């Protein structure tokens, strides 16, 4: 009678929970399997003797830190389940890449006979102006680091001394995209070294420092860039800064072909932009840089000038002057989808051009002129 009275006073449920806890994790698991199949919430119980007649109190699980940038998901490992604990491993969720302007405008839907991956392509004979390939060449798009070709042109035409030492400051740090740089604050290099790094390996801090050390500072430099664009007939081009990190630096393939032709007139731009490798001394350290265009390392390419570019809004971009099939050609590829697709497009164009006979009187069997790629 006393046992029954005690059970009624405590309640069946309380007694059952106390017995299960005393029996250990194995009994808890067995009870969960006999129930609705759900494990009870994990609890943390302090070691030592429990106070008599008191139910154990489950501690609150510590709240997981809120994700700041990327969405997170929780994964409970099998080994943790066996120990009766919840071990959380954080896994970054896949975030889709931001579409480029070319994708947003539907330019990638434009078909062409060569199957180019760039939404914009233009190939022009440098000497005659003959257009061999034209794919959306009139589209106005962000041009990323192709901007640095105009930066170099303005610096050289200003005839500023190339041996003058410039210093990287906080003003040269990228606040547009948050990109990194190997040129730490306080780095001192000559203007010529800065120009080399900007053209060959697309060093953003170097390009900004070049503009900042222009007479009148950065605003005067940007104005000089836009003035030069107008002089060259680049009617659809606009610059707002010298690096290309801003998507407001915009142009067309037609305008960029004019820029390549003008920049090619300067041997220094040709030499620095096509240099495969370059090293600079930073105090006791030697920094080694490589060209961002893999085609300069290939023996079957005769490249006279080149510049690459990339930001998400612009896609992968490339401009070149190259000699193919006995001709000096200017090639422009904008908004290419895929890391190596702009290089692949250049190879597709080269193979196509080398299959053609560019003699003036060459005709097909039907008497028609040789085909050109337009879209």
Taken in order 30, 31, 34, 35, is the CA torsion positive or negative? negative
Mean pLDDT of 218-228: 98
Residue with tokens 């030697």: 286
312 is catalytic: no
Give the Cα separation of 308 and 143 in Å (integer): 9
In the structure, what pLDDT confidence band is assigned to residue 99 with cuts at 50, 70 and 90?
confident
pLDDT-above-90 percentage for the chain: 65
Taken in order 213, 172, 223, 192, is the CA torsion positive or negative? positive
Tell me if residue 304 falls in helix, strand or coil: strand
148 is catalytic: yes
pLDDT for res 338: 85
For the stretch 188-212, pLDDT in tens is 999 999 999 999 999 999 999 999 9
DSSP H/E element including 268 = helix 267-273
pLDDT for res 206: 98
Mean pLDDT of 88-116: 79
374 pLDDT more than 80: no
Burial level of 26, CB count in 10 A (0-12/13-18/19+)?
A: exposed
Q: Of the residues 118, 119, 202, 341, which is catalytic?
A: 202
In this structure, the number of other CB atoms found within 10 A of the CB of residue 52 comes to 5
Give the side-chain half-sphere CA count within 13 A for 243: 26
Give the Cα separation of 214 and 220 in Å (integer): 7
pLDDT for res 14: 52
DSSP H/E element including 107 = none
Mean pLDDT of 214-226: 98
Q: Of the residues 100, 118, 119, 145, which is catalytic?
A: 145
373 pLDDT more than 80: no
For the stretch 28-67, pLDDT in tens is 344 444 444 444 343 333 344 444 444 444 444 444 444 4
In this structure, the number of other CB atoms found within 10 A of the CB of residue 120 comes to 28
Tell me which of 120 and 368 has the higher pLDDT: 120
pLDDT for res 361: 42
In the structure, what pLDDT confidence band is assigned to residue 254 with cuts at 50, 70 and 90?
very high
Diameter over CA atoms, the chain: 119
Mean pLDDT of 207-223: 98
For the stretch 297-353, pLDDT in tens is 999 999 999 999 999 999 999 999 999 999 999 999 999 988 899 999 999 999 999
Average pLDDT over the chain, rounded to an integer: 81
DSSP H/E element including 20 = helix 12-23
Mean pLDDT of 16-30: 46
For the stretch 347-362, pLDDT in tens is 999 999 988 754 444 5
Q: Which of 15-19, 29-33, 237-241, 283-287 has the highest mean pLDDT?
A: 237-241
202 is catalytic: yes
Give the Cα separation of 34 and 122 in Å (integer): 72
Q: Of the residues 117, 135, 148, 307, which is catalytic?
A: 148
Mean pLDDT of 83-92: 52
Q: Tokens representing 163? A: 């041996």
Closest CA to 42 of 25, 30, 26: 25
For the stretch 108-142, pLDDT in tens is 999 999 999 999 999 999 999 999 999 999 999 99
């Amino acid at each position: 009678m006393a046992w029954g009275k005690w059970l009624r006073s405590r309640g069946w449920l309380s007694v059952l929970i106390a017995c299960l806890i005393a029996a250990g994790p194995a009994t808890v698991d067995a009870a969960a399997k006999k129930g609705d199949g759900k494990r009870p919430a994990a609890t943390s119980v302090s070691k030592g003797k429990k106070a008599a007649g008191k139910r154990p109190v489950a501690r609150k699980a510590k709240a997981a830190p809120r994700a700041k940038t990327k969405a997170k998901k929780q994964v409970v490992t099998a080994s943790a389940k066996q120990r009766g604990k919840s071990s959380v491993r954080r896994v970054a969720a896949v975030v889709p890449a931001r579409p480029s302007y070319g994708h947003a405008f539907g330019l990638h839907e434009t078909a062409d006979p060569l199957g180019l991956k760039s939404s914009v392509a233009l190939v022009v004979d440098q000497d005659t102006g003959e257009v061999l390939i034209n794919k959306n060449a009139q589209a106005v798009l962000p041009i990323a680091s192709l901007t640095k070709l105009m930066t170099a042109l303005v610096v050289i035409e200003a005839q500023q001394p190339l041996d003058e030492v410039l210093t990287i400051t906080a003003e040269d740090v990228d606040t547009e995209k948050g990109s990194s740089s190997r040129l730490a604050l306080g780095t001192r290099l000559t203007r010529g070294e800065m120009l080399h790094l900007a053209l060959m390996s697309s060093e953003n801090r170097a390009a900004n420092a070049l503009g900042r050390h222009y007479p009148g500072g950065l605003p005067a430099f940007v104005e000089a860039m836009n003035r030069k664009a107008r002089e060259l007939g680049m009617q659809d081009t606009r610059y707002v800064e010298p690096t290309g990190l801003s998507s407001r630096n915009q142009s067309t393939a037609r305008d960029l072909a004019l820029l390549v032709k003008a920049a090619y007139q300067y041997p220094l731009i040709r030499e620095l932009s096509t240099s495969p490798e370059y090293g600079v001394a930073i105090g006791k350290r030697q920094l080694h840089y490589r060209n961002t265009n893999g085609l300069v390392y290939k023996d079957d390419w005769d490249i006279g000038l080149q510049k690459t570019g990339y930001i998400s809004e612009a896609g992968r971009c490339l401009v070149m002057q190259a000699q193919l099939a006995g001709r000096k050609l200017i090639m422009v590829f904008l908004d290419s989808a895929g890391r190596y697709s702009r290089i692949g497009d250049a190879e597709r164009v080269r193979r196509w051009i080398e299959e053609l006979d560019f003699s003036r009187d060459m005709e097909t069997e039907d008497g028609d002129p040789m085909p050109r790629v337009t879209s």
